[in-house]
Amino acid sequence: MTLPPPPVEPSGSDAPPTVPTSSVPVPPSYRVVPPPAHLLTPEHFPTTVTRDGRIAWAFGLLGFIGFPGLATIVMSITLVILGLVQRGKNPVARAVGRRAAIFGAISLLATVVFFVLIFAVWPALEEAGVVSGDSVPMMFLMVPLAVWVAFGAPITGVVMGIVALTRPVSREKAERIYAAAGR
């Protein structure tokens, strides 16, 4: 295959230089660049996971980490941080991120309470002779917390992550959130 000859410039110093058009990429004319996330309006929805705040919930998939307590702690901290980061975006991202942050904070609080009770409070109460090793009242508190830490929080986080990745925020929901935000 032979290449076409390079274009010949006209003689004279006042002639504009020519650039071969085949080497310059031309963006398609139908492509529209959406506005920044904080300038989105309901007409821009549905949009991407990062622009409507669902990214915080998507990290609920960290519940797949194989260690029950670690999965809940890592997932909860990530949901809180990413949920709070969404505050600087549009009202939809703010609302979705706030819900993820609240879930993460409650889950983290329940997990911390469980571990403090099991590793600090219970041994101290046993040593002081307040409770015996087979204390039924303490079990009524510890079993639900253990079920939440081991199964409830990771499964809920994974399900919410899957939902966040598969169901974008609809235009109608975005309009309701914008109306509630006064925009």
Q: Copy the structure tokens of residue 180.
A: 């509630």
Per-residue pLDDT tens over the stretch 23-70:
666 555 555 566 666 677 777 777 778 788 888 889 888 888 878 889
Per-residue pLDDT tens over the stretch 122-160:
888 888 887 776 777 777 878 888 898 888 889 998 998
Instruction: Give the SS3 label for residue 14.
Output: coil
Per-residue pLDDT tens over the stretch 77-105:
999 999 999 888 888 888 889 999 999 99
Q: What span, in angstroms and rounded, lies between the C-alpha atoms of 143 and 116?
A: 14
Residue 121 pLDDT: 86
pLDDT at residue 9 greater than cutoff 90: no
Q: What span, in angstroms and rounded, lies between the C-alpha atoms of 43 and 47?
A: 10
Residue 177 pLDDT: 83
Instruction: Give the SS3 label for residue 1.
Output: coil
Residue 75 pLDDT: 92
Q: What span, in angstroms and rounded, lies between the C-alpha atoms of 167 and 35?
A: 22
Residue 108 pLDDT: 94
